[in-house]
Structure 1
Amino acid sequence: MATFVYRIKDKAGRDHTGTLEAENESAAAAKLRAMGYYILEIRNAGSPTLPSGGLLALASRRIFKPVFGGANTWQLAFFFRQLHMMLKSGMTITHALDSLGRQGGCGRGLRRVARESADHVKLGSRLSEALRCYPWIFQDLHIALIRAGEESGTLDVSLGRLADYLDREQAIRQRLRVATFYPKVLVMAVIFIPALPTLIFSGFRAYLKETLHTLLPLLLIILAVWVGYRTFSAVYPFRYVLDVIKLKIPKIGSAVRMLALSRFYRVVATMFAAGVPVGEALAYGAKATGNIFLMRRIESAIPMVRQGSTISESLARSGVLPPVAMDMLRTGEQSGEIDALLTKAAEYAEGEAEVAISQMTVVLGVLLLLGIAAYIGTVVVNFYVSRYSTIINQF
């Protein structure tokens, strides 16, 4: 008999930790499920683990695994869509996972996840428990939706809803890339255009040297900022202050707030449709905002909902949702179509965010263009001044 350390959630939503003796991990998981618990984590007590607060573990969770072992939104949507279609066609979950493990559309990382998850499921684990072993790929939201489908017997439907949600997230990101394309082109122009006189008069090698002299420090600064952000975003005070600042910046704050709230609406709508309890749906929706300040304000309404208050009354006290969204939510409560009205609220918030982003990119494009013009003008003037000074000095 081996000893296993576990972390579980009871029917009231409270977390518990402890140890359990069993022949293997599958047997330990089966005992906990028989007692009515939902398993968050289970491992052999003798298994070596990195210290949870260590720098190596932090870097692994926040940088290396997400970058080198993660999956993008499109790959996740493909993964869940394929699972949905296979289960809907009558395939067993193990056969579906084995088949996904041999397909190439979802990427190498997800193929490995599919194969390993199939092994876990064959040993008696649930799909949600198997996927929870990969927190750098699957969010708590994904696991919660899958678990809701498992408990209600509609796993294929939940997987389809999850794929739909990820498709919408990908569509929003695509629109953001299109909106910011012109400013990106202008930034590239700032790097490569000013050195063109060097290319004309001194050749390509001198031009490349001058361009790299400008480009490499910029890339190092960007890399340092990105690594610092990924590392320190796990530190609560730093993340909280940063998220508050994001919301206070003119125009940018409006877009950030609307995009965060649109994710909240869509997640809550999706989880409502899947049959997830109200308090749990709001908790996952709050996390989906990606903003700690908004998350804490929304989470403050959850105890009131669990005590019997309506969702609209509880969220009105938080002061997070705009009046239009509150009106839609009240209408949804009265008509019994909360998920449909929240989806409409998400579409409204996304439209408002797109308007703010479009305005912001136009202003940013003009400012960058003026800055480029001033910079190139300075370079040209300095070039001709030095050129004529050399000619005059020769006489």
Structure 2
Amino acid sequence: MKKDKKIEQKIIPLKKKNSILSFSFGFAEESQYFVESLSMLLASGMDIIEALEAIKAEVKSTQLINIIDELVENINSGFSLWQSLEKTKLLPPHIISLIKIGEESGRLHQSLAVVVVQQSKSQSFKSKIRAAMMYPVFVMGVAMTVGIGIAWFILPKLSTVFNQLNLKLPLVTRLLMSFGSFLSKYGSLVVPIFILGISIIFYFLFFYRKTKFIGQAILFSIPGIKNLIREVELARFGYIMGTLLEAGLPVLEALNSLGESGTLRAYGKIYTLLKDGVEEGKSFEECFHSNPKIRKLIPTTIQSLIAVGERSGRLGKIFLNISESYENKTELTTKNLSVILEPLLLVVVWLGVVAVAMAVILPIYSLVGGLNQNPQSTSSNKSVQIPPPKPVIVAVPVLPTSTIMMATSSPIIATSTITIVTPIIIPTTTPTSTPTTSTLPISIPKIPTSGTLEILGFSSIYTLPNAKSEIVQQAAVGERFKYTDTKIGWYKIVLSPDQFGWVSAQYIQIVSFAP
């Protein structure tokens, strides 16, 4: 009894000192290096103390160095390796169980070799989930960064330009410009707060121990991710149970170690139910039938395999076969998930690009439409009112009927002649034209009907000055042609000495005029 108290006094301070290690980032890689090195050194015939000292010389982490010092001190005091490791929280419970079995059976280096393989598989399972999630997270992160940069630095300048033009902006443009103006004023404060908030939410959803079950529930609601997580956990479940049972550990202790090492809350509840059922004397088959909800996470075929293995006494091998089967499935699911996610992410990014493009292009179209209407309104507003011509009064002598003439055989003698001057109004315009007002448009210089032109954009050459006529050929940017005639919006160009075509005025510029 005194010796047991002495053991607790030696080991309890170690637990207090290093209990936080299980929450340290990057410590899983160091623990894996520790087990791999210890396994190789013990397999070569080296003593445990010498192996620990050799590992300590290569380790750079202060935390791991302190743990090794405590392990050496406890082992020199007569404690076993698994007892010393159990209190440090350096390794999960199922690995401690394997080390305990190996140490008690005299096959410690073999148990450590199994632990190394198990750690490697555990890292592989985790990396598959991370690899499946890394691509969408990276793409969405880059898209969000680019979007914030555009909204912060470019949209405010466009907003200033559009405001100066006094255009009626579409709704999507107004929303985008308002967001850009908001970022230009408060971006230096809002963007860091936004990034910090996203980081905090991400940490509490997927890393913080007490709340990460929420993030797990979110992942389980995504169809493709749900299947991958289930396959990874079933592969892990089969490998750990199979390894522990094949090593000789009782089923109850194996389930206990599995539950303590689990990371998913949903499967942790299942492992607890199985452990409680086995403690009550139930078989795996009875535990599965008494909890129908288990079927959602452990398929019926897997339940049947476990029941058959339990009845045949080959439960450990059955679990290892389940692990191998689902490990192969995770490889295929990971590849398929990447193939499915890639086009979906492209569609999401494309929608964002289209929204920004429409917000910028629609006002430009409105501006072009306004410019096309302005010349007509300007010419109608600037019409010149010509006053009516002033009448000119001209005096013309007229012989009225009151002129009296007498005819005789003798020469005519006018006894009396009266001349009356009558005013006659003669208009300055021609007699057939009597307008009172005349509206004349602003004079436009006459474009010569021949010369040389250059193609500004890829354009079609037509047989007639009509876009519905037959296309002769396509004109490339920069080509020059001589034109011999013009019509409204069209130019007749020379293709060959005996071939002509018409090209729209929208895609050309005049290089020179014919003399």
Q: TM-score, normalised by structure 2?
A: 0.55
Instruction: Determine whether 1:119 maps to 2:73.
Output: yes
C-alpha separation in 2, matches of 1:170 and 1:245: 22
C-alpha separation in 2, matches of 1:110 and 1:369: 44
> Matched residue pairs, number?
339
C-alpha separation in 2, matches of 1:48 and 1:322: 39
Match of 2:322 among 334, 345, 364: 345
* Partner AA of 1:328 in structure 2: L
| Deviations 1:116-147, CA, capped at 9 Å, x for gaps | 32222122222222223332x42222222222
C-alpha separation in 1, matches of 2:61 and 2:73: 19
Instruction: Determine whether 1:88 maps to 2:43.
Output: yes
Could you say which residue in structure 1 is the equivalent of 2:242?
269
Q: Residue 167 of structure 1: CA displacement?
A: 0.7
Instruction: Determine whether 1:322 maps to 2:299.
Output: yes
Unaligned runs of 5+ in 1: 1-19, 33-38, 51-56, 203-208
Instruction: Determine whether 1:71 maps to 2:46.
Output: no
Question: Which segment is superposed worse, 259-268 or 216-225?
Answer: 216-225
Distance 1:156 1:313, change over 3 A: farther
* Partner AA of 1:96 in structure 2: A
* Partner AA of 1:253 in structure 2: K
Aligned partner of residue 95 in structure 1, secondary structure? helix
Match of 2:197 among 221, 242, 251: 221
Distance 1:184 1:245, change over 3 A: closer
Match of 2:92 among 134, 139, 142: 139
| Deviations 1:203-241, CA, capped at 9 Å, x for gaps | xxxxxx98988863453123211443478633xxx6667
Alignment of 1:1-395 (within 5 A): 28-29=6-7, 42-43=11-12, 61=20, 66-67=23-24, 71-72=27-28, 74-104=29-59, 109-135=63-89, 137-194=90-147, 195=149, 216-229=192-205, 233-234=209-210, 246-306=219-279, 308-319=281-292, 320=294, 321-333=298-310, 336-383=313-360
C-alpha separation in 1, matches of 2:22 and 2:16: 16
> What is the RMSD computed on CA atoms of the aligned residues?
4.3
Unaligned runs of 5+ in 2: 158-182, 375-515
Distance 1:223 1:305, change over 3 A: same
2:274, 2:287 within 8 Å by CA — same for their partners in 1? yes
Distance 1:187 1:87, change over 3 A: same
Q: Residue 92 of structure 1: CA displacement?
A: 1.5
Distance 1:268 1:82, change over 3 A: same
Distance 1:138 1:310, change over 3 A: same
| Deviations 1:61-119, CA, capped at 9 Å, x for gaps | 4xx86235x513x4333321211121122211111111111124x85543442233222
Could you say which residue in structure 1 is the equivalent of 2:453?
none
C-alpha separation in 2, matches of 1:346 and 1:212: 51
2:36, 2:116 within 8 Å by CA — same for their partners in 1? yes
Structure of greater Rg? 2
* Partner AA of 1:103 in structure 2: E
Distance 1:189 1:322, change over 3 A: same
| Deviations 1:338-380, CA, capped at 9 Å, x for gaps | 3332122123233444555555544443333222112222323
Distance 1:381 1:85, change over 3 A: same
1:101, 1:113 within 8 Å by CA — same for their partners in 2? no
1:266, 1:342 within 8 Å by CA — same for their partners in 2? yes
Aligned partner of residue 125 in structure 1, secondary structure? coil
C-alpha separation in 2, matches of 1:212 and 1:260: 43
Percent identity between matched residues is 21
1:262, 1:345 within 8 Å by CA — same for their partners in 2? yes
* Partner AA of 2:324 in structure 1: E
C-alpha separation in 2, matches of 1:213 and 1:360: 37
Select the structure that is richer in helix.
1
Aligned partner of residue 259 in structure 2, secondary structure? helix
Aligned partner of residue 290 in structure 1, secondary structure? coil
1:247, 1:253 within 8 Å by CA — same for their partners in 2? yes
Distance 1:153 1:179, change over 3 A: same
* Partner AA of 1:372 in structure 2: V
- The structure, 1 or 2, with the larger RCO (C-alpha pairs under 8 Å, 6+ apart) is 1
Distance 1:149 1:302, change over 3 A: same
C-alpha separation in 2, matches of 1:214 and 1:373: 26
Q: Residue 162 of structure 1: CA displacement?
A: 1.0
1:183, 1:364 within 8 Å by CA — same for their partners in 2? yes
C-alpha separation in 2, matches of 1:257 and 1:386: 50
Q: Residue 334 of structure 1: CA displacement?
A: 5.4
Aligned partner of residue 91 in structure 1, secondary structure? coil
C-alpha separation in 2, matches of 1:149 and 1:305: 25
